[in-house]
Amino acid sequence: MEILMAFVIGILFMSATYLMLSKSLLRIIVGTGLLSHGAHMLILTMGGLKKGAAPLLGENAPSYTDPIPQALILTAIVISFGVTAFFLVLAYRAYQELGTDNMDRMRGTEGND
Amino acid sequence: MSLLHLAIISPFLLAILVPIAYKLFRQIHTGWFVFPLPILLFSYFISYLSITSNQQSVTKSFAWIPTLGIDFTAKVDGLGLLFALLITGIGALVVLYSIYYLDKNKEKLNTFYVYLLLFMGAMLGVVLSDNLIVLYTFWEFTSFSSFLLIGYWYHREKSRYGAQKSMIITVFGGLSMLGGIILLYMMTGTFSISEIIAQSDEIFSHVLFVPALLCILLGAFTKSAQFPFHIWLPDAMEAPTPVSAYLHSATMVKAGIYLVARMSPVFAEHSLWLWLIAGFGITTLFWGSFSAVKQTDLKAILAFSTVSQLGMIMSLLGIGAAALHFETVDDSYFTVATTAAVFHLINHATFKGSLFMVAGIVDHETGTRDIRKLGGLMNFMPITFTLAIIGTFSMAGLPPFNGFLSKEMFFTGMVRVLEMDIFNLDTWGFLFPVLAWVASVFTFIYSMILVFKTFTGKFQPEQLEKKPHEAPIGMLISPIILASLVIIIGFFPNIISNTLISPAQAAIMPVEGYVYDTHIYFWHGFTPELFMTLGVITLGILLFVTLPKWRSVYNLFPEKLALNRFYDSMLEVSQRASFNLTRLYMNGFIRTYLVYIFSFFIVALAATLVLKDAFKFDTSDVATIHYAEVLLALVIAAASVSILFVKSRMTSIILLGAVGYTVSLFFVIFRAPDLALTQLVIETISVSLFLLAFYHLPKLRHEERIRFKMTNALISVGVGAIVTMIALSAHSNKMFPSIAQYYVENTYKEAAGKNMVNVILVDFRGFDTMFEITVLGIAALGIFAMIKLRLEGGKKNENK
Amino acid sequence: MNEIANIVIIVLIILGAFLSLVAAYGVIRLPDIYTRNHAASKSATLGVMSILLGALLFFYVKDGFFNSRVLLGIIFIFMTSPVAGHLIARAAYNSGVELWDKSVQDDLKDAPHMKKAGSKEQ
Amino acid sequence: MINFLILPILIPLVTGVLLIFAAKRIMLQRWIAGISSVIAIIFSALLVQKVRARGIQTLDVSSWEAPFGITLVSDMMSALLVLTTSIIAFLCLIYSFWSIGEAREKFYYYAAFNFLIVGVNGAFTTGDIFNLFVFFEVMLMASYVLLVLGGKKAQLRESIKYILVNVISSALFVIAVAYLYSVVGTLNMAHISVRISEASQGTPPGIITVIAVLFLIVFGLKGAIFPLYFWMPGSYYAPPAPVLALFGALLTKVGVYSITRTYTLFFYHDTGFTHQLLSFLAIMSIIAGVIGAIAYWDIKKIIIYNIIIAVGAILFGVSAMTTDSLTGSIFYLIHDMIIKAALFLLAGIVIAIAGTSNLHKISGLIKRYPGLGWTFFISALALAGIPPLSGFVGKLLIVKGGFEAEHYWGAGIVLMSSLLVLFSIMKVFINGFWGTPRAYKGEDKVPVGKMLIAPVILVIIAVFYGVGSEYVYPYISQAAETLANPEIYIEAVLKEY
Amino acid sequence: MKTNDIILQTATKVVLFLIVLFSIHIFFAGHYTPGGGFVGGLLTSGAIVLLLLAFDMKTVSKILPVNYIHMIAVGLLFSIGTGAGALLFNVPFLTHAFGHVDLPVLGDTSLHTATLFDLGVFLVVVGVTMTIIQTIGEDE
Amino acid sequence: MLNTVVLSAILIISAATIGLIYRVIKGPTTPDRVVALDAIGINLVAIVALISIALNTSAFVEVILLIGILAFIGTVAFSKYLEKGVIIENERDR
C-alpha cells in the first residue's frame, strides 16, 4: 500500500508542479492545493499505513496506527487552509487591481532598472 | 591606556570637538583649533628620539579583544617614530597652510578638519601599532579618510570619481593584506608583529608563506600606488591641495612603504620578496617618471612624480632586503640601499610637500594649474618661484639639495646590485641601474618642466582667471619651512643620520647586536654614481630643450591600452555585464524562478540519491493493498492529472475538490477519522472560497490555452519522480520505532482522553495547535485588511 | 437473531448499492438537467438511506444500541435531500437552462417573475 | 521561573492579540506595542544572561518529557538571536510610528508586526522540528499580511510570487519532516540527532544525506541562498521600509539559522558531501549576490542583493565547521541582522525624501541631511566589514575558519566580496548623498529627525558590537561551542542521554 | 431578483438546530471520539453560513451581533490564557490539569483545562471562517 | 458473507461515483455539475458507512453526518449562486 501511495503522491506532486508552472493564477493556486494534499498524504504514508485500529482508545484494539502523523497532518491541513484562503483572496484582489490573472502580465520590476 | 595611546587617539578625540568649535566660533578659522595638536604631538614624539636613537623601542599595550589576540599594542621604534614625526610635522605645516588656503566663509571647514584629523590619527595608528589587526584597522581608516578628502568637493564629478577609484583600489589591497595577516596568524598564532618577526625562521618553510607574502605585498603596492595600481593617485589630486601635499605625497602613500619596511624582517628571506618589490618598484619609478613628462596639470605632474618616487623607495627597500643574505653587514656595503630608502623617504616628504604647496599657491593665485596656460609667473611671485626652484632641483637630484644626496645613494644601491650573486641577480640585475638611470633622466625633465613652464616663459594673463600676485605670508610659511629643510638636510645630512635613519634601518633590518651607524657624505669621489648623475643632467637638459620635438613619442602609447581605461572599462563592463546577466535570469516571471528552484530540487536530490546510493526498495514492511484502494488511488491520480488538461476554471476547481474528497476517503481507509472529518470540512470551505474568489474573473474570451510545454512537463515529472523515490527509500529505511507507543500508553493515564490525535493536538503538542490557530487568525486579519484597505483608490473590477 | 439481522443488513446494502448505481446511470444517461436531478435526488437518496439503515442495524447488533449519529444522519439526509433537489432544479430553471428538446410541457414558461432569468454563467 | 524562555514568544503574542482589540485607536496601539517591545527586550536580555550563567535552558511545554512533547530550547545562539530580534523589532516599531501611515496602523499593522516577531522568536527557540514548521508558518503568514497590507499594485503582484514560493517551500518542509520521521521516528531535534548518530556509525545511510539536502533546499528557499534566491529581490522590493527592514533583517536569517541548526545538530556525519555542497552554494550565493548588487542603481535592490551576499558568507562559515568559523558565522549573523535593519531603515528615509529609490534621480542629500548621510556612511562601512565596526570580527573569523578548513578559494571570495559590497553600497553614498543637491517634492513633510532615531541607535549598536567585541565574544563563543558539540545540546534536552 | 425561499428558510430552521447540536457534540466529544474544537468550530460556522444563505447578512448580524475579528482575539486569548495559567503555578507553559467533579445533575463529570484550550480553538475557527466569509460577502 | 457484500457494494458505489465524476467534468451546464456533485456527496456518505461496517468501527460515523451537512450547504450555496449570482446577500428584498 505504501508503495502505491508513494506513486499516488508522486503523481500529485507532478500535477501540482505542472500547474504551478502555468500562467493562470487560478491554476497555480489549484496547484498549491494539490501540493498540500500530496504533502499531507506523504506524512501519513511515512508514518506507516494500517498498522492498527484508529487511534481511539475506545476501540480497545491490540494496536493502533501512529497518531503522531495524524496530528501533524491536522496541523498542516489547518495551516495550509489558512494560506490557501489568504492566497485566494489575494488573487481576487490582485485581479481587481491589476485586471489580469495571467502571471506573465504580473511581471516584476527586477529586470528593469 | 598609556600616554602613547592617548597621543594616537587624540586626533580622533579632537575630531569630535571640531564641529562643535566650528559651530561656536564661526569667526575664527577652524584650522586654528586644529593646528596646536600636531605641534604638540610632534614635540611629544621628539621626546622619543632619545630612546630610539639608541635603537631601543617602547612598547605599550592596551587590551582590546584579547581573546582574539587583538591588542592595541603601540610600539615606538626607529621606523615608527620616523613616520610619526613625518605625520605630525608635515601635518602641522599642512594645517597651517590650509588655514590660508581654504576660505573660512566658503568651505565646510568642519568636515575638512574632521577628515584631516581622522587621517592623522589613523596614520599614527598604522605606524605605531604592533598588532597587525589594529594596523589593518587604522589602514582602512586612512583609506576612508582619504576617500572623504578626495570627495571633499563632492559636487564635482571628478572628485567623486577619484574618491571612488582610490577607495576601490586601496580597499582591495587592504582586504588582500587582511588575508595575508590571517595567513600569518595561522602560521604563527599571533597578530603581533614583533612576535611574528621572532618566528620568521619557522614560517619561512611554511606552505602558506608565499601566499601570505603576496597578499601583504598587494596591500602595500596598492596603498603606495605601485604600478599597475598607481592609477588612483593622479585622480586623487581632486582633493584640496593641502590634502594632496599631506596624504598623497608625504604620508598616506608611504604607508605601503612602511608596511614593506616593517614586514621585511619576516619575508626578506625569500627571493620573491626581493624580486617583487624591487621589480615593481623600479617599474613604477620608470613608468611614473615617464608618464609625468606628458602631463599638463601641475598637480598631475606632481602625482606621477610621487608615483615614481614611491617606486624608487620601494625598489631600494627591495634591494636592501638582499643585504640580509650576506654574512656581514658591517661595511654597510649592501645596506646602503635601505639607508637610501629611509633617507629619501624623508627628503621626498620635504621637497614634494613644498612643491605641492607651491602648486597650490599657483592654483590659488592664478585660478589654474594647467602649464599650458601658465608661464612667466617668476616676476609676480618671486618667493614662490624660489621655493619651486629649491623643490624641483632637489627632486631632480641636483646639488646642493637633499635630493641629490639620496639620488646618489640610490645609484650606489642600484650599482651594487651588479655585485650581488644571489637570486639570479647576476643575470638580470643589470636592469636595475639601467632603468634607474633612465627614470632619473625623465625625473630631471619633468622637474624642469614643472618649474620653468610655470615660472618662466611667456606670461599669458588672458588665460588666467585671476591676476597673479604673491601669496599671503601665512600660506608661504609652510613651504618655506620645508624648503629650508631641503637645504639644511642637503648641507648637513648627518643631523638626521643617527637620530632618524639608523634607528629606522635597525627596525627594517634587525641584526642582533649590531648598531647601525650611518654617515652620509656629500662627496664620494669620482664614482660611477657621479658620472651617472652628470649623464642625467646632460641628457636631461638636452631632452628638456628638445621636448616639443620628441613629445610625439607619447602618442605611441594609445589611450586604449592605458591602465585608466582598463580600470574604467572594467568598472563599466562589470556593472553592465552584471546588469545584463541579472536581467537575463531575473526576468520578473515567477515561472522562470520556479523552474530554477525545481530544477535545483531535482538535480540536487537526484544527484544525492545516486551518489550516496540512497535508493532502497524494500517491500517487507508494507501494508496490504485492497482493490478498492487501488480504485481510489486511480481516482485521485486521474483527477489530478486531468486538471492539467481541462479548460474551464470551474472544472479544475471541481476536480481539485474531487481530489480533496478522495484524500479524505483515504484518511478514512487509513484509520484517521479526525483527519477525514477535518479534511472534508476544509475541502468544502476551500472549494467554496475558490468559487468565490474566481467568480469575479471575466469569462474567458477564448478558452484558456493550455500549451504543453516540454520543460514544464520534464520538471514536473522530475519532481514527482524524486518525491516518490525518496518516499520509497525513506519508507524502506525505517530504522527506529516511532515514539508513538508513548502516546498509546499515556493518553488515558496522564492526559485523561481517549482520542489520541485530539489529545496530542490539545495537550501533547498543544503548543503547535496554539500557533496553528494563530496562523489562522493572522490570515483572517490579513484577508480583512486586504479587502478593506486600498491605498491606491481600489477601483472595482470593471468586468463585474 | 444475528443471522436474520445479517441478512437484513445485506439486503439493505445490496439494495442501496443497486439504487446508487441506478442513480449514477441516470445522471449520466438522462438527457437534461431536470431529469438528471430527478434521478439523483430520488434514487441516490433512497440508496444511501438504505445503506445507512443497514449501518444502523449493524451497529445495533454490534454495540447493542442505536448509534445516535447514524440516526441523526438518516434524519438529516431525509430532510435535506429534497430541499437540495428543489433548489437545484429551481436554480437551473431560473438561470435559463434549456429543457430537453423532447420535453412536452413547461408550466413555468409564462410565469412572469421567472422570465428575466439572467444568462449568468454558462 | 522555568517558563522564562517562552516569554520572548509569549509577550509579542499576547500583545498582538490585544492589539486586535485596539485596532482603531492608534496611539493606544503604539503605546502597547512599544511598551511590550521594551519588556520583550528586557526579558530576552535576562534570558541571555541566564543561559550564560546556567547553560542551555529548556522547557518541556505541557510538561511532557522531552522526545514526546514539544521542547523549547534556548541555547546561546538562539537566545542571542532572540535578543537581537527583539531589539530590531523595537526599533522598527518606533520607526513605523512616523513612517507607516495611519491607514495601515488601523488595519492591524502592529498586530501582524507582533505576530511576525512571535514566529521569528519561536523559530529560534523551538527544539522540535515540526514546531519549527509551525513557527515558520506563523512568521510567513504575518509576513504575507505585512507585505500585502495597503494593497498597492506592486504589493499585490509581488505578494503572489512571495506566497507561491513560500507555499512550495512549506510543502517541501512538510515532506522533509515526513521523510525524516519515517527514518528516525521522532520529531524532537535532540532526539533526531541522537538517532541519526546511532544510525550512522561511521557513514550515515544515504537516505539521511538525501534528507539533509532536502532540508537545505527548504531552508535555503527561506534563507535565499543560490540558486533559490530568485524570488527575493522582487518580493522584498514591494513593502514599505520598516517591513522591508524586518524582512531583510529577520526572515532570511531564520532560514540561515535553521540551516545552521540542522547542519550542526543532525547532519554532521557526512560533511564531505553535505557541507561541501553547502559551502559551494554559499560561495555561489556570494557571487550571485555580488553580481546583483553591482548591477543596479537602486538603493533597495543594492541592499537586497547584499542580503544574499551576507547569507553566503554566514553559511560559508557554517560549512567550514571549525569553531572559529562557527563563531564567526554567529558574529556575522547578528551583525548582519543589525546592519541590514539599519540600512533598510535609512533607505526608507531616503526614499521618503526623494520619492524614488533610483540613484540616478537622487543626489546631494548629505548637504541638507548630514546626519542621515553619516549614519548611512558608517553603516555602509559596517556592512563591508571595515574594522572596528560590527562586520569585521565576524568576517575575520569566517575567513580564518575557512583558511583553517583549507577552503582557500572560498575564504578568499568571502574576503574579496567585502570590496564589492563596499563598492555597491558606496555607489549609493557617492551618487545619492554626494553630488549636486536637488530639491525634492514634499521632502519637508518627512520627519527625518524622528525617523533617524531607530537607524542611529542601530548604528550605535553596530559600532559597539564591533568595538566591544571583547564583551560580546564570550557569549558568541559559548554559542559556537554548542554548535560545534551537539552533545551539549542533546544532554540539555534529553537529560538522561 | 425577488424570489421566495420559503422552503429553504423553513428547512434551514430545522436543519440549523441539528447542525448546532451536532457541532456541540463533536466539540465536547473531541477528547474521546473524533472531533474537537476545530471541526466543531467549522461546523458551527457552517451553520452560520447556512443562515447567511437562507437569509441575508443584515438579518444574520441582527441575530448574531458578533464582531468576528474580536472573536478570533478572544479565542486566542482563551488558548493562550489556558497555557499561561501554568505560569502562575510555575509549571511548564500549557500544562493541563484535569479532575473529576461531582455535579448535582450531571453526576461525575471530568473537568479538563484542555477543554478550555479547545474552546479557544473553537472560537478562533468560527471567527476566522466568518471573518473571511463576511468580508468577501460584503465586498461583492 | 457480510464482508464480501460490503466490499462489493463499495466497489459498485465507487463505480457509480466515477460515473458521476464524468458528469461533473462533462457538464454541460453548471447545474448538471451541481447535481452530480450532490449525488457524489450522497454516495460518499454511503461509502463511509460501508467502510465503517467493513472496518467494524464506529469511529467514522461522525463523518457520515458531516458529509451530509456539507453536501447540503454546498448544494444550497451552488444553487443560490446560479440563481442570483451572489451567494450571500447583504440585504434581502431590495
SS (H, E, C) D263-293: HHHCCCCCHHHHHHHHHHHHHHHHHHHHHHH
CB of D422 closer than 8 Å to CB of B163: no
Residues B298 and B447 in one domain: yes
Residue A67 at interface with chain E, using a CB cutoff of 8 Å:
no
What's the pLDDT at D220?
Answer: 93
Least confident of B653-657, B696-700, D352-356: B696-700
CB of B232 closer than 8 Å to CB of B166: yes
Q: Who among A18, A82, A91 is closest to B712 (CB)?
A: A18
CB of A86 closer than 8 Å to CB of D141: yes
Q: How confident is the model at residue B598 (pLDDT cuts 50, 70, 90)?
A: very high
| Residue entry with cell 496601539 | D29
What's the pLDDT at B137?
Answer: 92
Range of the domain at D468: 4-494
Task: From chain E, pick out residues whose CB is under 8 angstroms from the CB of F94.
Answer: none
Residue B494 lies in a domain: yes
Nearest to B39 by CA among B87, B74, B3: B87
DSSP D436: S
What's the pLDDT at E92?
Answer: 85
What's the pLDDT at E38?
Answer: 87
Return d(Cα C11, Cα C51) in angstroms, integer: 9
Range of the domain at F39: 1-84
CB of D387 closer than 8 Å to CB of B139: no
For chain E, the average pLDDT equals 82
Mean pLDDT of B592-607: 92
Tell me the pLDDT tens digit for each residue of B4-26.
899 999 999 999 998 888 888 88
Residue F89 lies in a domain: no
Which residue, of B545, B562, B578, is where some domain finishes? B545
Alpha helices, H only, B449-510: 454-455, 473-491, 494-496, 502-508
Residue A4 lies in a domain: yes
Tell me the pLDDT tens digit for each residue of A83-111.
999 999 998 888 888 877 777 777 766 54
Residues B314 and B280 in one domain: yes
Alpha helices, H only, D149-251: 153-184, 189-199, 206-223, 231-237, 241-246
At CB < 8 Å, which residues of chain B contact E?
Answer: 673-674, 676-678, 681-682, 685, 689, 692-693, 695, 751-755, 757-759, 761-763, 766-767, 769-770, 773-774, 776-777, 779-781, 783-784, 787-788
Range of the domain at B539: 269-545
Provide ipTM, 2 decimals: 0.92
Q: Is the pLDDT assigned to residue D416 strictly greater than 70?
A: yes
Q: At what angle do helices D469-484 and D486-494 cross, to 10 degrees?
A: 80
Mean pLDDT of D435-445: 85
Mean pLDDT of B336-357: 89
Return d(Cα B772, Cα A72) in angstroms, integer: 11
Tell me the pLDDT tens digit for each residue of C82-100.
888 888 888 888 777 777 7
CB of B288 closer than 8 Å to CB of B386: no
Residue F84 at interface with chain E, using a CB cutoff of 8 Å:
yes
What's the pLDDT at C41?
Answer: 80
Residue B563 lies in a domain: no
What's the pLDDT at E110?
Answer: 63
Please write down the HEC assignment for all residues of B521-541.
CCCCCCCHHHHHHHHHHHHHH
What's the pLDDT at B702?
Answer: 44
Which pairs with CB-CB distance under 8 Å and at least 24 residues apart come from B477-480?
B477/B93, B477/B96, B477/B97, B478/B93, B478/B94, B478/B96, B478/B97, B478/B353, B478/B354, B478/B357, B479/B97, B479/B353, B479/B354, B479/B357, B479/B358, B479/B361, B479/B384, B479/B387, B479/B391, B480/B383, B480/B387
Higher pLDDT, residue B694 or D17: D17
Nearest to B649 by CA among E73, A25, C112: A25
| Residue entry with cell 444553487 | F79
CB of D462 closer than 8 Å to CB of D335: yes
User: Grid coordinates standing for F57?
Assistant: 468501527
What's the pLDDT at B338?
Answer: 85
Return d(Cα B220, Cα E4) in angstroms, integer: 92
Distance from CA of D42 to the nearest CA of B (A): 24
DSSP codes joined into one string, D315-332: HHHHHH--HHHHHHHHHH
Tell me the pLDDT tens digit for each residue of B396-413.
888 788 888 888 888 888
Residue A56 at interface with chain E, using a CB cutoff of 8 Å:
yes
Mean pLDDT of B181-196: 90
Distance from CA of D480 to the nearest CA of A (A): 32
Tell me the pLDDT tens digit for each residue of D256-278.
999 999 999 988 888 888 999 99
Residues B717 and B751 in one domain: no
Which residue, of B480, B514, B545, is where some domain finishes? B545
Mean pLDDT of D3-15: 91
Residue C108 lies in a domain: no
Residue E98 at interface with chain B, using a CB cutoff of 8 Å:
yes
Q: Is the pLDDT assigned to residue E123 strictly greater than 90?
A: yes
What's the pLDDT at B520?
Answer: 77
Number of independent structural domains in chain D: 1
CB of D17 closer than 8 Å to CB of D35: no
Higher pLDDT, residue B470 or B37: B37
Return d(Cα B766, Cα C55) in angstroms, integer: 35
Indicate yes or no: CB of F86 within 8 angstroms of CB of E57: no
CATH of the domain at A45: 1.10.287.3510
Tell me the pLDDT tens digit for each residue of B40-89.
999 999 998 888 877 788 888 888 888 888 888 899 988 899 999 999 99
Q: Is the pLDDT assigned to residue D497 strictly greater than 60?
A: no
What one-letter code names the amino acid at B675? L
Partner chains of D (3+ C-beta pairs under 8 Å) = A, B, E
Return d(Cα B715, Cα B597) in angstroms, integer: 10
Mean pLDDT of B337-354: 89
Number of independent structural domains in chain C: 1
Range of the domain at C91: 3-95
What's the pLDDT at F83?
Answer: 78
β-partners of residue B578 are: none
Task: From chain B, pick out residues whose CB is under 8 angstroms from the CB of A101.
Answer: 697
Residues of chain F with pLDDT under 50: 94
| Residue entry with cell 560533511 | D271
Q: Is the dihedral of CA D487, D491, D494, D497 positive or negative?
A: positive
The 10 Å CB-count burial string (b at 16+, else e) for D277-310 is bbbebbbbbbbbbbbbbbbbbbbbbbbbbbbbbb
What's the pLDDT at C24?
Answer: 86
Phi, psi of D187 (to 5 degrees): -120, -20
Q: Is the pLDDT assigned to residue C112 strictly greater than 70?
A: no
What's the pLDDT at B573?
Answer: 87
Q: Which residue of F has its CA nearest to E47?
A: F73
Nearest to D333 by CA among D306, D313, D303, D304: D313
Return d(Cα D50, Cα D75) in angstroms, integer: 10
Residue D63 at interface with chain E, using a CB cutoff of 8 Å:
yes
Q: How confident is the model at residue B797 (pLDDT cuts 50, 70, 90)?
A: very low
User: Grid coordinates standing for B623?
Assistant: 501494508
pTM, 2 dp: 0.92
The 10 Å CB-count burial string (b at 16+, else e) for B567-584 is beeebeebbeebbeebbe
User: Grid coordinates standing for D450?
Assistant: 524622528
CB of B30 closer than 8 Å to CB of B102: no
Return d(Cα C62, Cα C2) in angstroms, integer: 10
Indicate yes or no: CB of B596 within 8 angstroms of CB of D292: no
What's the pLDDT at B319?
Answer: 84
Q: How confident is the model at residue B92 (pLDDT cuts 50, 70, 90)?
A: very high
What's the pLDDT at B779?
Answer: 94
Task: From chain A, pick out residues whose CB is under 8 angstroms from the CB of F57.
Answer: 53-54, 59
Residue C76 lies in a domain: yes
Cis peptide before D388 (omega within 30 of 0): yes
Which residues have a Cβ under 8 Å from the Cβ of B774 and sit 6 or more positions away?
Answer: D13, D115, D118, D138, E76
CB of A41 closer than 8 Å to CB of B663: yes
- From the number of C-beta atoms within 10 Å of its C-beta (0-12, 13-18, 19+), residue B484 rates as middle
What one-letter code names the amino acid at B392? T
Number of independent structural domains in chain A: 1
What's the pLDDT at B799?
Answer: 36
Range of the domain at A30: 1-49+64-101
Q: Is the pLDDT assigned to residue B800 strictly greater than 50?
A: no
Q: Who among B777, B787, B788 is closest to E124 (CB)?
A: B777
Residues B81 and B219 in one domain: yes
Number of independent structural domains in chain B: 4
Nearest to D187 by CA among A66, C31, B480, E70: A66
Q: How confident is the model at residue C116 (pLDDT cuts 50, 70, 90)?
A: very low
Higher pLDDT, residue C68 or B166: B166
What's the pLDDT at B742?
Answer: 85
What's the pLDDT at E106?
Answer: 53
Residues B133 and B213 in one domain: yes
Phi-psi region of E101 (alpha: psi -120 to 50; beta: other; left: phi over 0): beta
Instruction: Report in angstroms the alpha-carbon separations of B7 from B130, B131, B337, B539.
Output: 15, 17, 32, 48
What's the pLDDT at A113?
Answer: 43
What number of other Cβ atoms are within 10 A of residue C6's Cβ?
Answer: 16
Residue F26 lies in a domain: yes
Tell me the pLDDT tens digit for each residue of B471-521.
888 888 889 999 999 999 888 888 888 788 888 888 887 776 677 777 777
What's the pLDDT at B798?
Answer: 36
Residues B278 and B240 in one domain: no
What's the pLDDT at B796?
Answer: 44
Residue C97 at interface with chain F, using a CB cutoff of 8 Å:
yes
Number of independent structural domains in chain F: 1
Mean pLDDT of B342-367: 89
Q: How confident is the model at residue B715 (pLDDT cuts 50, 70, 90)?
A: very high
Higher pLDDT, residue B375 or B345: B345
Tell me the pLDDT tens digit for each residue of D230-256.
888 888 888 899 999 999 999 999 999
What's the pLDDT at B412?
Answer: 84
What's the pLDDT at B604?
Answer: 93
Residue A14 lies in a domain: yes
What's the pLDDT at D496?
Answer: 64
Instruction: Report in angstroms the alpha-carbon separations of B392 from A102, B545, D284.
Output: 74, 17, 53
Return d(Cα A8, Cα B633) in angstroms, integer: 6
User: Grid coordinates standing for B499?
Assistant: 637620530
What's the pLDDT at A111?
Answer: 46
Q: Is the pLDDT assigned to residue C119 strictly greater than 60?
A: no
Tell me the pLDDT tens digit for each residue of D116-164.
999 999 999 999 999 999 999 999 999 999 999 888 888 888 899 999 9
Residue D42 at interface with chain A, using a CB cutoff of 8 Å:
no
CB of B788 closer than 8 Å to CB of D108: no
User: Grid coordinates standing for B500?
Assistant: 632618524
Residue A56 at interface with chain F, using a CB cutoff of 8 Å:
yes
Indicate yes or no: CB of C51 within 8 angstroms of CB of F49: yes
Task: From chain E, pick out residues whose CB is under 8 angstroms from the CB of A56.
Answer: 32-34
CB of D429 closer than 8 Å to CB of D377: yes
